[in-house]
Amino acid sequence: MLLFALTLLGAALLGCMPVHVLGDVQSLSSLKWTLKNANGSIVVPAKVPSQAHLDLLEAGIITEPLLGINDFTQRWVVNDNWTYTADLAPLTEKLGRDTRALLVFFGIDTIANITVAGHPVAWVSNQFQQYVYDVTDFVAAPVKHDTNVTVALESAYFYGLNVTARPDAEISPTPDFEYAGIRQWIRKTQSDFGWDWGPAFVPSGIFKPAYLVTLTPHEITAPLAAANTTSSPQPQPSPAPASHPLLASGGTILIEESSLEISKVGQTSINTPNQTADWLVNVTLAVRSVQGADFPTITVDIPELRLSSGPLAVDPIPVRTNASTFLSAVFTIPDAKPTRWFPHNLATGPKLYDFTITLAFANSSGFKPSDPHRTGPAPPPAPPPVSFTTRSGFRTIELVQTAYPAEELAARGITPGDQWHFEVNGQAFYTMGTNIIPFDPFYARMTSEQVRWVLESAVKSGQNMLRVWGGGIYQPSDELTGGYDFYAACDELGILAWSELIFSDALYPIDSWLLASVAPEVAQNVRRINRHPSNAQWAGGNEIEGIVISVNETLANGTHYLDEFETLFGEFLHDIVLAEESSVAYTDCSTTSGVLSLDPYEIRYNNKTPGYIYGNGERYNYDASQAFNYSTYPLSRFMNEFGFHSLPSFYSWEEVLTSPEDFSFNSTVVASRDHHPPAGSLAWPNPNAPQGQGQMTTAVELWLPTPNTTDTNQTFAQWCWSTQVFQSLNMVSEIAFYRRGAGRPENNLGALVWQLNDIWQGASWSAIEYSGRWKVLQYGMANIYQPVVVYPFWTADSETLEVTVTSDRWEPVSGSVQMTWYDWSGEQINFSREPFTVPSLNNTVILEVTGLDNILPFGYNVTDVWMRVNITAEVDNRTVTHEQYFTPASLSTANLVDPEIKVTSGPNLTFTLSAQGGVAPFAWLDHPAGTVGYFADAATGVPLNGFFLVPGIDRTVQFIPNTALSKVHPDPAQFAVRSLWNNTHL
């Protein structure tokens, strides 16, 4: 639908622009493109935006890249050069004599020569930049009647090999994934070269939308006055505001970039904003124009608030199309006038306003209307104003990184050190969320519907922040320029986005070429994302600070790498980001020890006092025996990464496995798609995959019944699902621990699980599969990310059970906890009920008992019983419930009883589950292949799946389908049920 819509863009614009505007914005997707390889043996129809693999797939040259072992067999595509060509004449043949034609590329992946009409235009090498070129003179004088636009892409792999073969190339001392040792030299999505959760297709193409914008000086539509008149030109009518800055372009001007930043008067990226100060609205436009204006103005209107800035004078606009002119205007709004934007789970939630921004070209003649010395003919009338509407919100978001005041340490018993948490609109809050990676190996085929499903899934599971991982791509703001919508959807849904610059898990050599390429990349993306209230901070990259500290301590020339890191992340990137925004923080790295000083900016590195807590943390422990050992969990102010890998469901494997023998846990194909630990080279299948497979195997065998039935497909399905059950158990345990830390000396105020989404069907840390199907972890997070939760903390070494209620609310919460013991046949043994009150952002211990003899019901063994813990509380003027389970022994040794689950389907895809026999731990419903959606408690609407089903306590859930993404209509007869009982029984 998007491609079709863009082909009609030019015609649509003519319908909404005044008739006297001769300029136009035309999508290059309307042209007839071809793709060919270097020797011309492959020539196929192509599209823009697209990537070579996608066009080869459409032409039948290759099969779906994600199928089977195609990540290996299609490496030949990476090794070739690919050229996109289209005849530009349909868009340029009617250009007027005074018209200028500008090519606008919002993204080229990555190394390319651009030619127009046989003339070289540019060589580009940065996937993250947007490019604009005036090609008028080339179009007017084609070489040998060549009217084509050509983008000749060089293999990024071979380019990297050539660059690193130079005698002056500095080779990074850090290990890598598949295409090793080259990505540091290429400004391209780093995971394109392989990662431990995804493939290495190294795609290339014109992967984002591209346009031809034609500009023509404004025509004189009224007769000129007498030669000696001194009358002023009449004002021109204003067109209706466009829905995007690009759509406001054409006529005489191109709005190449726009930035709208809302902050507090006096606020900077490093100080605490004054919450009672006026709001400061800062608008910046980057323009190219064929008609000058000496006294242009920018006006900002907020219709819902009935506010207008009035005309604000900006710098003159020169006649210039080969470079940008930046225009900036600011005005203030009283603090109390707008409603503030909050994350969806706090206060009033996300409130957005429409901002109409108008650029007026007053006095384009070079004379002021009141100039008494002006003689001669009247100046030509100014072009009509250009106007567009964009959305934003009013909020402050601060990353607090300074030391705790002594009085707060004493009053609250906090461990000394630095703070590291976010405050929204002046209030600290608990950050709950996940990390996101690229949504597909091929960016160009992602849609807003697919991305929005992932974002909506995050919101439905209680998350209020997503970290945009720094090894991927700068996520887009809208379809028109980015192909799909990300940040605007975050704004609307009320989920914060922690943004990162694209540097990850490597040491980056510093040279003038890299810095010259990175500077506009960072500036463009920071300016673009400024308008989004969902943006929470800018981090310089992913996990590099820890790497450089280690290198500095272990290599003889380690200080060289530390100096380069300091130059790039402590100075260069820091300065660019802070020059472009003043409303969010900059940190040098995702995982960081924090700062010694914010002004001047000084990274702490290892300058630490023993026993103090600094910065944030992460945890990856693949020894499954330690999964629930709290002493291995970091005591951190904020956990920005922690995870354990699992396999996707049987349904996802059906999408990519091609032979019956592949449907086995350790089949060659399944294991080949486990890139943890990574190969570190192009060796295939991954020689290190047995380690990752073994870690999942051990985890299941330690904590769950080992899958083994007479049906090989069921056994494989239960293995896949069981890895997800363990993953969820592990992550829920960690989340509960970190959330509890909000009321403990570490004062933990953030937990972001690694990771939310998947890039393909294979072993990964994701909570949502590539197709959009929720894993067990996604439902686990929907449970443990509730506002008020109860959790049984079991320390096996000391045989201590602590039942704690934790709340992330800003006000005290009261309710009651019920603890009920059952045996595995479902007989209730005993129960108790306790009232509780939890202070703001804190926890309350309900029960603390040591010794199994004091914990277990009298006369029962650990393998025979379990405890259900549930609460009822009043939160935000509504009654909420929550439940968790305590099993004193591993479920691998529990004396389970056949639950004999009965499923009764009802109207509107509701299903009632009833245990006719014993207890069903992790009762689970699967929706049919080809459907996308989630299960929710039919009474509360809270996502629910993977629960303990108890005889006599039926559960009714409803499947809520995503009809836009589902390929088939869900048939109730095709839903399936399973539990841990099915690991060993048909």
What's the token pair of residue 733?
């345990």
Strands 535-539 and 585-587: parallel
Which residues on neighbouring strands pair with residue 82, listed in sequence order? 37, 153
SS3 476: coil
CB atoms near residue 779 (< 10 Å)? 26
Q: Phi and psi at residue 582, in whole multiples of 5°?
A: -140, 15
Distance CA 160, CA 170 (A): 12
Distance CA 769, CA 723 (A): 13
Q: Tokens 């089903």 label which residue?
A: 949
Nearest to residue 255, comparing CAs of 25, 500, 67? 25
**Beta strands across the sheet bearing 43-46:** 43-46, 33-37, 82-87, 148-153, 112-116, 119-124
Distance CA 910, CA 957 (A): 6
SS3 198: strand
Which residues on neighbouring strands pair with residue 602, listed in sequence order? 597
Which member of 543, 581, 734, 769 is catalytic?
Answer: 543
Nearest to residue 326, comparing CAs of 334, 314, 335, 338? 314
What's the token pair of residue 590?
């995702």
SS3 838: strand
Q: Which long-range contacts (CB under 8 A, 24 or more apart) does 24-27 make?
A: 24/213, 24/214, 24/250, 25/211, 25/212, 25/213, 25/246, 25/247, 25/249, 25/250, 26/91, 26/211, 26/212, 26/213, 26/214, 27/209, 27/210, 27/211
Nearest to residue 359, comparing CAs of 264, 278, 291, 261? 291
Q: What is the DSSP string of 574-641?
A: HHHHHHH-SSSEEES-SS---EEEETTEEE-TT---TT-B-S-EEE----GGGTT-GGGS---S-EEE
End-to-end CA distance of the chain: 45
Cα dihedral 531, 534, 538, 542 sign: negative
Distance CA 673, CA 331 (A): 54
Q: Phi and psi at residue 165, in whole multiples of 5°?
A: -80, -10
CB atoms near residue 973 (< 10 Å)? 7
Q: Please list, in sequence order, all residues whose beta carbon lies within 8 angstroms of the beta carbon of residue 216, skipping any fewer than 6 positions away.
A: 22, 23, 96, 98, 99, 100, 251, 252, 290
Q: What is the DSSP string of 34-102?
A: EEEETTSS-EEEE-SS--HHHHHHHTTSS--TTSTTHHHHTHHHHTS-EEEEEE-HHHHTT--TT-EEE
> Dihedral angle at the C-alpha atoms of 255, 260, 265, 270, nearest 10 degrees?
-110
Residue type, 968: V
What's the token pair of residue 335?
């603090």
Burial class (CB in 10 A: 0-12, 13-18, 19+), 715: buried
Distance CA 213, CA 236 (A): 22
Cα dihedral 961, 967, 972, 974 sign: negative
Cα dist from 151 to 46, 204, 417, whole Å: 12, 11, 53
Distance CA 361, CA 291 (A): 9
> Is 64 designated active site?
no
- The percent helix, strand, coil of the chain (3-state, each to 5) is 25, 30, 45
CB atoms near residue 381 (< 10 Å)? 21
- By annotation, the residues acting in catalysis are 543
